[in-house]
C-alpha cells in the first residue's frame, strides 16, 4: 500500500496534543446568543464577536429572508463580471455614508479586504511598516505584495517614525495599524500614526474590524472615536463582527476604490456576496442609526464585566474595549482554564501561541449588548471559583 504522503501532518498534530494545545471544535447547536447551547451544554457565551446581538436581530432576519425571496440565494459571478447586484451598490453607498468617505468596496470577508488591498496597493519595491500585533490578514497581504515588511513594537509610534525616517524619501510606504487589537482589546496608536504619516508622506491604513459598531458615534469606528476623519487613506472594516453577518470592506477615496475594482484579486477572482448577506448588512446599518442605545448597553456591560474581572484579581492586560483577556501565561494553563470554565457553564475560548506570544496565553472574553447582568454575574462567580482553583489570581 502507498505510504500516506501527508503523514507529517499527523506528527504535527501529535506534538500539539503533547503540549496540551490540541483543540476540538466547539459546536453551537442553536443560535449565536449570549446564553447558548454549545457541545450540548447551556453556557454563558463570552466567545463570539456578536457585539450588538445582531446575528439574531429580527430586522436583519426579515431583510435577509425578503432578499432570498426577491433575489435568490447566490450572485452567480464575481463582481467584475456579472456578480454586481444593485443591492451590493446600495450597501456600499450606505457604508460610505457611515464611514464618511467618498466610496466603499465590499469584499467577501475582512480577511479578503485586508489581504486583497495591501497586496494590490503595494509591490516589491515598497515598504509596509506594521504594528507587531496587527491581524494575520494584514501580514498575509504584505507577504503577497512582496514589499519589504518592517515591524514596530506594539503601539510604539516613535519606533515607527524611526523606521520610516531611515527609508529613502522616494520609496512608497504604507503605515498600518489595527484600530482595536483583537487579542488584547487595546486601541491602536491611531492619532500619533496619522501625524507621522502626514509628516513623512506615507499611506495611512487602519483595520477597524473590532471597532466598527463599537467605537465612535453610532459605531463609526476609531477614525470617528479619535476624530481623524480625512487623515486615514485606507480604512478596513468587517461586516462579520458587530454588524452580525459576513463580509469586509475598504472605505476611502473614489480613486482607491476604482483601483481596487481593477486590481484586488478577491474582488476579481472570487464570487460576491449572496444578496441576503448584503440585505442583512443594510438592515444592521439602519439599526445602528435608529437604535444607538444598543451600543450604550454594550459599554455598560463592558464596564461591569471588566471591572468585575479586575476586582477578582485577574491579569486583564491593557484592554480598552469589550474584549477583555484573562492572561494565564502558559499555553496549557490557559487551555485548562478555558476547559474548567466550560465545565462550570462559561464559554471563553483559550488562545495560545502562535496567535499570542508564548508566555501570554489567555482566555479571551467578549461581552455583548445582549448579555443580562445575571449572566455576567454568573460568569464572574465561575471565574472566581476556577481562577482560585488554578491559582491564577494575582
Ligand atoms: C476578525 C478580523 C479580521 C477579519 O475579518 P473577517 O470578516 O472575520 O474575515 C480582520 N482584521 C481584524 C483586526 C480582525 O479582528
Sheet of strand 346-347, all strands in order from the earlier edge strand to the far edge: 35-38, 41-45, 346-347
Residue 363 to residue 330: CA distance in whole angstroms: 11
**Which of 106, 133, 148, 139 has the alpha carbon at shortest distance from 264?**
106
pLDDT tens sequence across 219-272: 999 999 999 999 999 999 999 999 999 999 999 999 999 999 999 999 999 999
pLDDT, averaged across the chain: 97
Q: To which H or E segment does residue 302 belong?
A: helix 293-312
Cell 443580562 belongs to which residue?
372
Share of the chain above pLDDT 90, in %: 95
Q: In angstroms, what CA-CA distances link 141 with 172, 199, 232, 241, 289? A: 16, 25, 18, 21, 32
20-34, 182-196, 320-334: segment of lowest average pLDDT: 20-34
**β-pair partners for 366:** 323
Cβ atoms of 152 and 159 within 8 Å: the answer is: yes
Q: Which three cell numbers stand for residue 43?
A: 453556557
Compute the distance from residue 238 Cα to the ligand 1 centre, in Å.
6
Give 111 Cα–ligand 1 centroid separation in angstroms. 6
Count CA atoms closer than 13 A to 340's CA, side-chain side.
19
Residue 334 backbone phi and psi in degrees, to 5: -65, -40
| Same fold for the pair 19-48+292-390 and 57-290 | no
Query: What pLDDT digit, counting tens, does each position of 204-228 carry?
Result: 999 999 999 999 999 999 999 999 9
* Catalytic residue, candidates 182, 212, 272, 321: 182
Per CATH, is 57-290 categorized as 3.90.79.10? no
Residue 322, CB-side half-sphere exposure with 13 Å CA sphere = 30
Residue among 238, 242, 364 whose CB has most ligand 1 atoms within 8 A, to mutate: 238
Does residue 288 carry a pLDDT above 90?
A: yes
Per residue in 348-382, pLDDT (tens digit) is 999 999 889 999 999 999 999 999 999 999 999 99
Ligand 1 atom with minimal separation from the 49 CA? 1
Compute the distance from residue 386 Cα to the ligand 1 centre, in Å.
Answer: 30
Q: Examine the pLDDT at 394 and tell me if it is beyond 80.
A: no
Any residues with CB less than 8 A from the CB of 308 and at least 6 apart, and which?
Answer: 376, 377, 380
Q: What does the pLDDT look like over 6-34, one tens digit per residue? A: 999 999 999 999 987 788 899 999 999 99
Enumerate residues lining ligand 1, CB below 6 A: 109-111, 114, 135, 137, 178, 182, 207, 209-210, 238, 240, 248
Query: Which residue has the least CA distance to atom 3 on ligand 1?
Result: 110
Ordered by start, the domain boundaries in the chain are: 19-48+292-390, 57-290
Q: What is the mean pLDDT of the segment spanning 66-95?
A: 98
Nearest to 237 by CA among 114, 139, 369, 60: 114
Alpha carbon distance 92, 326 (integer Å)? 37
Rounded Cα distance, 42 and 373, in Å: 17
Contact at 8 Å (CB) between 187 and 179? yes
Residue with CA nearest ligand 1 atom 5: 110
Q: How far is the CA of 80 from the centre of ligand 1 (A)?
A: 24
Measuring from atom 12 of ligand 1, which residue has the nearest CA? 209
Determine the pLDDT at residue 287. Answer: 98
Strands of 248-252's sheet, edge to edge?
103-107, 248-252, 234-238, 203-207, 173-178, 127-131, 148-152
Q: Which of 132, 137, 185 to mutate to test the pocket of ligand 1 (most atoms within 8 A of CB)?
A: 137
How many beta carbons lie within 10 A of that of residue 263, not counting itself?
14
Q: What's the DSSP call for residue 133?
A: T
What atom in ligand 1 is closest to the CA of residue 238? 7
Residue 182 a catalytic site member: yes
Determine the CATH number of domain 19-48+292-390. 3.90.1150.10
Examine the residue annotation and report whether 33 is marked as an active-site residue of this protein.
no
Amino acid at each position: 500500500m502507498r505510504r500516506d504522503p501527508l503523514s507529517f501532518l499527523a506528527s504535527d498534530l501529535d506534538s500539539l496534543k503533547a503540549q496540551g494545545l490540541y483543540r476540538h471544535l466547539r459546536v453551537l447547536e442553536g443560535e449565536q446568543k449570549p446564553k447558548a447551547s454549545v457541545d450540548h451544554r447551556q453556557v454563558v457565551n463570552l466567545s463570539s464577536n456578536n457585539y450588538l446581538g445582531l446575528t439574531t436581530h429580527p430586522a436583519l432576519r426579515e431583510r435577509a429572508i425578503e432578499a432570498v425571496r426577491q433575489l435568490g440565494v447566490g450572485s452567480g459571478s464575481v463582481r467584475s463580471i456579472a456578480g454586481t447586484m444593485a443591492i451590493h451598490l446600495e450597501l456600499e453607498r450606505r457604508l460610505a455614508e457611515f464611514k464618511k468617505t467618498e466610496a466603499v468596496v465590499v469584499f467577501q470577508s475582512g480577511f479578503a479586504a485586508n489581504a486583497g488591498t495591501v497586496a494590490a496597493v503595494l509591490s516589491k519595491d515598497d515598504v509596509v511598516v506594521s504594528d507587531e500585533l496587527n491581524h494575520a490578514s494584514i501580514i498575509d497581504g504584505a507577504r503577497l505584495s512582496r514589499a519589504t515588511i518592517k515591524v514596530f513594537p506594539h503601539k510604539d509610534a516613535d519606533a515607527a517614525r524611526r523606521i520610516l525616517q531611515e527609508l529613502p524619501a522616494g520609496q512608497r510606504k504604507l503605515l498600518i495599524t489595527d484600530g482595536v487589537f483583537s487579542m488584547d482589546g487595546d486601541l491602536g496608536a491611531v492619532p500619533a500614526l496619522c501625524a507621522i504619516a502626514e509628516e513623512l508622506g506615507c499611506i495611512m491604513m487602519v483595520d477597524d474590524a473590532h471597532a466598527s459598531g463599537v467605537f465612535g458615534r453610532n459605531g463609526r469606528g476609531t477614525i470617528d472615536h479619535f476624530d481623524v476623519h480625512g487623515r486615514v487613506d485606507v480604512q478596513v472594516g468587517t461586516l462579520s463582527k458587530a454588524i452580525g453577518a459576513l463580509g469586509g470592506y475598504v472605505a476611502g477615496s473614489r480613486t482607491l476604490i476604482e483601483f481596487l475594482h481593477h486590481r484586488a484579486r478577491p474582488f476579481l477572482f472570487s464570487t460576491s456576496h449572496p444578496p441576503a448577506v448584503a440585505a442583512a448588512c443594510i438592515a444592521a446599518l439602519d439599526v445602528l442609526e435608529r437604535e444607538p442605545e444598543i451600543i450604550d448597553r454594550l459599554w455598560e456591560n463592558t464596564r461591569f464585566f471588566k471591572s468585575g474581572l479586575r476586582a477578582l484579581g485577574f491579569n486583564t492586560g491593557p484592554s480598552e474595549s469589550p474584549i477583555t483577556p484573562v492572561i494565564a501565561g502558559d499555553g496549557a494553563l490557559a487551555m485548562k482554564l478555558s476547559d474548567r470554565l466550560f465545565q462550570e457553564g462559561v464559554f471563553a475560548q483559550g488562545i495560545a501561541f502562535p496567535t499570542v506570544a508564548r508566555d501570554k496565553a489567555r482566555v479571551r472574553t467578549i461581552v455583548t449588548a445582549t448579555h443580562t447582568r445575571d449572566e455576567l454575574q454568573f460568569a464572574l462567580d465561575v471565574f472566581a471559583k476556577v481562577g482560585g482553583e488554578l491559582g491564577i489570581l494575582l
